[in-house]
Structure 1
Amino acid sequence: MTQGALYIDFEYCSGCHSCEIACRTHLGLSKTENGIKVLEDRPYQHPDGSWHWDFIAYPTELCDLCEDRIAKGKLPSCVQCCQAKVLEYGTIEECGRKLLDKPRKAAVFVP
């Protein structure tokens, strides 16, 4: 079986936390545990005057990319529930190619 990966596009994350809730529910985690966590990079102003307020979703050590869901042909729960379509599941190669097109504000996670 090909190793799966998670492509994360930080540019469009709205900070809704749907991925956290979906993951926590799927894994049966408590409210203090997360398989994926959304961090907030508070508003800041660049020297050019533009403002930035970013949200950064990152998988934790509890993430197994929902291997039981993948085995059934489903998407990981975080990907399924991401309202902004920031999270995408694919092979390492597919996610790596997307990362080449967007070297900033994006990442690839492999458990």
Structure 2
Amino acid sequence: MTVGILVDYEFCTGCHTCEIACAVSHDLPNDRAGVVVHHEGAWEMANGKWQDTYLPVFTDVCDQCAGASAAHDGAPMCVHHCQADVLRMGDAEELAKELVRKPKQLLYTLA
């Protein structure tokens, strides 16, 4: 089974809790952790709509808390502490089915 982390970036608030949880649990600097939150915006698009998106990006440092064996409740620290509940860990094939249901999501897996 390939394990993945599904990110629903439509509702990410940019709180950076995932970064901090990862950095603290792995003794890393906040900006060099296994997950880093990217901010795109804020700028006005056509029709009075605005682009203001936060996107948790998983780096090569991410080991999914070594398969979540060392993490709290069997989830990586970033998933466990996500205040907006936009991160989910599980079987990559099962999580991939969610991508069809909702377009603003990304699926990360470790190779």
Shift of 1:68: 5.1
Matching residue of 2:6: 7
Matching residue of 1:75: 75
Task: Provide the aligned C-alpha RMSD in A.
Answer: 1.6
SS of residue in 2 equivalent to 1:97: helix
Evaluate the alpha carbon distance shift between residue 29 and residue 5 of structure 1 in structure 2; reply closer, same or farther with a 3 A threshold: same
Give the Cα–Cα distance (whole angstroms) in 2 for the partners of residues 91 and 84 of structure 1: 21
- Tell me the number of residue pairs that the alignment of Structure 1 and Structure 2 aligns: 109
| Runs of 4+, deviation exceeding 2 Å | 68-73
Which structure shows the higher helix fraction? 2
Evaluate the alpha carbon distance shift between residue 49 and residue 39 of structure 1 in structure 2; reply closer, same or farther with a 3 A threshold: same
Shift of 1:10: 0.7
The reply to whether residue 62 of structure 1 matches residue 50 of structure 2 is no
Give the Cα–Cα distance (whole angstroms) in 2 for the partners of residues 70 and 11 of structure 1: 29
Alignment of 1:1-111 (within 5 A): 2-67=1-66, 69-70=68-69, 74-103=74-103, 105-111=104-110
The one-letter amino acid of 1:16's match is C
CA deviations on 1:59-78 (whole Å, 9 max, x unpaired) are: 00000111253377610100
The one-letter amino acid of 1:77's match is M
Give the Cα–Cα distance (whole angstroms) in 1 for the partners of residues 67 and 4 of structure 2: 15
Give the Cα–Cα distance (whole angstroms) in 1 for the partners of residues 94 and 107 of structure 2: 10
SS of residue in 2 equivalent to 1:61: coil
SS of residue in 2 equivalent to 1:54: strand
Evaluate the alpha carbon distance shift between residue 54 and residue 30 of structure 1 in structure 2; reply closer, same or farther with a 3 A threshold: same
Evaluate the alpha carbon distance shift between residue 16 and residue 71 of structure 1 in structure 2; reply closer, same or farther with a 3 A threshold: closer
Shift of 1:93: 1.0
TM-score (norm 2): 0.89
Q: Identify unmatched segments of 5+ residues in structure 1.
A: none
Q: Identify unmatched segments of 5+ residues in structure 2.
A: none
Between the aligned residues of both structures, percent identity stands at 33
